[in-house]
Amino acid sequence: MPALRVTILRQLYRAAYWTLWVFSLVAHPRGRGVKGLIRNDGAVLFVRHTYGPYEWELPGGGQHRHELPAEAITRELREELGIEVTNPVPLGAGNGPRQYRNNRVTFFTIDLASRDVQADPVEIAEVRWSDPTDPPRPLGWYAADVLRRARAQL
């Protein structure tokens, strides 16, 4: 993808993110999303998005209407990281913090045989495999929540 196009699309994503963030302060909309705790040989995959706060999160995204959570995590990981998931294991679900308290997020664990991922340059600024007991900082809220939930499995 040409660099100029990536730059423009990143700016559009950033503008959309902050517009929705401001809207969420007033309206507290309901939403559904998914996050994946992707593991390989004791390490967990973290991503830093090109939009939003400069935090490390777990990959995932929004769940479309009439889409099952397992379908959503499969689609999001294919779009963002170029990986095909066939067996996401549910880890639980929870609501977001503060103005995102009406967002319901379903968490999955996914074991990969390889650390080879192809990050979408528009959405993903950086990927990092890290020891889950020493994740990159600053760590996003959802990532911290999922790591707490999964501590016994790690």
29-81 residue pLDDT tens: 668 999 999 999 999 999 999 988 889 999 999 999 999 999 999 999 999 99
**pLDDT tens column, 84-107:** 998 899 999 988 666 556 679 999
What is the total count of domains within the chain?
1
Answer for the pair 124, 49: CB distance below 8 angstroms, yes or no.
Answer: yes
On the question of pLDDT at 137 being above 80, the answer is yes
pTM confidence score: 0.82
> Residue 23 maps to which CATH number?
3.90.79.10
The mean pLDDT value of the chain amounts to: 88
Between residues 3 and 13, the one the model is more confident about:
3
Answer for the pair 45, 57: CB distance below 8 angstroms, yes or no.
Answer: no
Candidate from 14-18, 64-68, 148-152 with smallest mean pLDDT:
14-18
Range of the domain at 133: 3-153
